[in-house]
Amino acid sequence: MRKKNRRHLARRISGVEALEPRQLMAVDVTVPLTNLTVSAGSAAETIDLSQAFNLADVTGTVVRFDTNVAGGSFYAELFDQAGAGRTRTTPRTVANFLEYVTNDLYTDTIVHRSVPRFIVQGGGFSVPTATGSLPAAITTFAPVVNEPGNTNVRGTMAMAKLGGDPNSATNQWFVNLDNNAANLDAQNGGFTVFARVLGDGMDVVDAMAALPTTNLGGAFTDLPVVGSMNAGGITPENFLRIAAVSPVEKLVYAVTSSDPSIAAATVREDGFLQLDFAASGAGTATITVRASSVFDPADFTEEQFVATLLANPPVEPPVEPPVEPPVEPPVEPPVTPPVTPPVTPPVTPPVIAVGADVGGLPWVTVLDATSGDIISKFLAFHPANRGGVAVALGDVDGDGIYEVIAASGAGTRSVVKFFELDGAHMPAYRTLPFDKSYLGGLNIASGDFDGNRVDDLAVVSARGAGLAKIYLIDPAAADPVPDQASITIRQAFPGSIGGTTVAAADIGTFTGGRLVDAAVADGRDELVLGSGVGIPPLVRIYDVSVAAPVVVRTLRPLSASYLGGLNVSSGRYNADAIDDIIVTGGRRSGSAVEVHSGRVAADEVLLRRAAFASLASLPTYAAGLDIDGDGRIDSLVATQGGGAGSGVRLLGGTTGLQSAFSSLSGGFRVAATRQARLQSAG
């Protein structure tokens, strides 16, 4: 049973001049909800609502702008995916914009320019804290390459840039108040249109544009003013404020049950519908699910299905079999059982897992590391999740076979999922590591942090000052991944807002935070954290065997002047018995790959190489791969983010490029098997 609200949609269509062309946005049912029948006392049922509903005309990431004008907020769709209202996608511009969003740099900024029937512009300056003070410029990242082609019509958003330099856009954005195509589509190489305002959001933007302006000189000659300025000059309350810019899910859900005593229905924070059934009794309950667009609750679709509860069957008394007189069995000579050779536990073949980078569908691909053949390819999350997929490989159930771990990227509720190598989902292994308000994306690693020969999960925030959590996995437990982290580090890099990357490495024997033996691995991984964007490159390695983790090693890779962030992994590169640290850089790092000795007190770079000479400006990811199972890295697996078409490269320890897998293209994150450790664990 289905119900869709059309009244409000019809009203909105009358204003087609808002966007060229204006699209009818309606919530669709992609997978109808079906009736179900269970017995009383059955375990709860869950349904992934993101698979059941979709807003087909909104394909890109959706962000919310919170303002201090009438109407409060407006929503915009970013052009990271093909869809309505655009001629081309703008993946680099969107990734650049989201970098400011996920690092909270747009929080408490101002709209500093308003020109009637032209534009409103913001993103460049923070709200001052004192009366009479001028706004200060926010932190900026490196300029982004221009991506023209979409038309600057009313309701679209574009990036501002310097005159005479098409590739100079950084942080400032503007909303077109009118059709500015004739001017802006051709000027300065064309202004990159990377988003469109959704729903009735232009009502809020028009309220911004209607504010009076004042001239404070410099960048503030057309400064919009909220309220009345006093004699002492402009106050913080007089600025047109952007309180926050946040990625949001494009659909919101509500659910009701006609009889909660039969089946109680709730929508969980992760977007799953959960049905809890009565322990006894029988009956039916009609479940109604409403899916609404986040930017216009009046646009919705409803689905209904019936949950039937069956009474438990009566318990019959046991039936005693007839008693027969005892029969003496014939006496046989003793039989010697055949000797069975010992069974060796299965060992995962060397594999590589790659996860999509920002802007792509959330694919995870598992490759045979020796041939490059695809073992499996699956969507780890709903197709609407385009913030990238961080991946790790680990044996989390203790069967000697690796599993794939996938973590969500920016723009969606943080979640970590687990899969078999063939792509089969492992629903028991799942966690929501951070608060529901956190949408900044995750980085993950797998390692044995407690020495029990089962891999655990390390999760870090992709923005902020370095929040890290370790979840000790117990495959024998009903909930193998606990709700609460066993180990937490709150600020690995104080003062930073650029997030953290993570790896696991066994770099020696430690007791109580003290080094016992730098040359002998103790079978318990240490936690490796790499700094993010905005601070000089820094790697900190923690002994997490103590209640308060202790930094036991610090590395300063690449160049002190480089501020583009690090990616970290590990593996045994040289002939000693401990793991070494693999470091790569983010944007404009020259695709550098460095391998640093894992020995405490050693300061030795074992390898330094550029992985992609032709695409050196893009982020690089690398992992160590042991193909022959001798415990040492045979190859470095290298990939690139940012939409690169380089595929997966294997770099030899001394021979440079070994091979490239052309079966994959596009940017992605990478993980590889630590083969030898699993073999020895058998």
Q: Do residues 536 and 561 make contact, with C-beta atoms less than 8 angstroms apart?
A: yes
Q: Do residues 582 and 593 make contact, with C-beta atoms less than 8 angstroms apart?
A: yes
Tokens representing 11? 């009203």
Radius of gyration over every alpha carbon of the chain, rounded to an integer in angstroms: 29
CA 154 centroid distance within chain = 32
Give the count of alpha carbons within 13 A of 156, CB side only.
29
Task: Read off the DSSP letter of residue 509.
Answer: E
Q: Quick one: which H or E segment has residue 200?
A: none
Q: Which of 179, 131, 150 is nearest to 83 (CA)?
A: 150
CA atoms of 192 and 329, how far apart (whole Å):
89
Q: According to the model, what pLDDT value does residue 665 have?
A: 54
Q: According to the model, what pLDDT value does residue 626 have?
A: 82
Q: According to the model, what pLDDT value does residue 678 have?
A: 40
Q: Is the pLDDT of residue 681 over 80?
A: no
Q: Which of 230, 163, 152, 239 is nearest to 197 (CA)?
A: 152
Question: What is the DSSP secondary-structure string of 94-117?
Answer: HHHHHHHHHTTTTTTEEEEEEETT
Q: Is the pLDDT of residue 461 over 70?
A: yes
Q: Per-residue confidence at 324, pLDDT binned at 50, 70, 90?
A: low
Q: Is the pLDDT of residue 325 over 60?
A: no
Task: Specify the pairing of strand 263-267 against strand 62-67.
Answer: unpaired
CA atoms of 290 and 628, how far apart (whole Å):
54
Range scoring the smallest mean pLDDT among 246-250, 252-256, 506-510, 567-571:
246-250
CA atoms of 678 and 161, how far apart (whole Å):
52
pLDDT digits (tens, 9 = 90+) for 28-38: 888 889 999 99
Cβ-proximal residues to 365 (8 Å cutoff; 6+ apart), any chain: 353, 354, 374, 376, 377, 664, 668
Give the residues across from 29 on adjacent strands. 53
pLDDT digits (tens, 9 = 90+) for 135-148: 999 999 889 999 99
CA atoms of 611 and 673, how far apart (whole Å):
20
Cβ-proximal residues to 213 (8 Å cutoff; 6+ apart), any chain: 114, 222, 223, 224, 225
- What is the average pLDDT across 281-306? 92
345 or 69, higher pLDDT? 69
Q: Is the pLDDT of residue 405 over 50?
A: yes
pLDDT digits (tens, 9 = 90+) for 589-627: 888 899 999 988 777 898 888 887 666 667 888 898 887
Q: In the chain, what are the helix, strand and coil shares in percent, each to the nearest 5?
A: 10, 40, 55
Q: Which of 631, 30, 603, 592 is nearest to 303 (CA)?
A: 30
Question: What is the DSSP secondary-structure string of 338-402?
Answer: PPPPPPPPP-PPPEEEEEE-TTS--EEEEEETTT--EEEEEESS-TT--S-EEEEEE-SSSSSS-
- Average pLDDT over the chain, rounded to whole? 84
- What is the average pLDDT across 643-663? 61
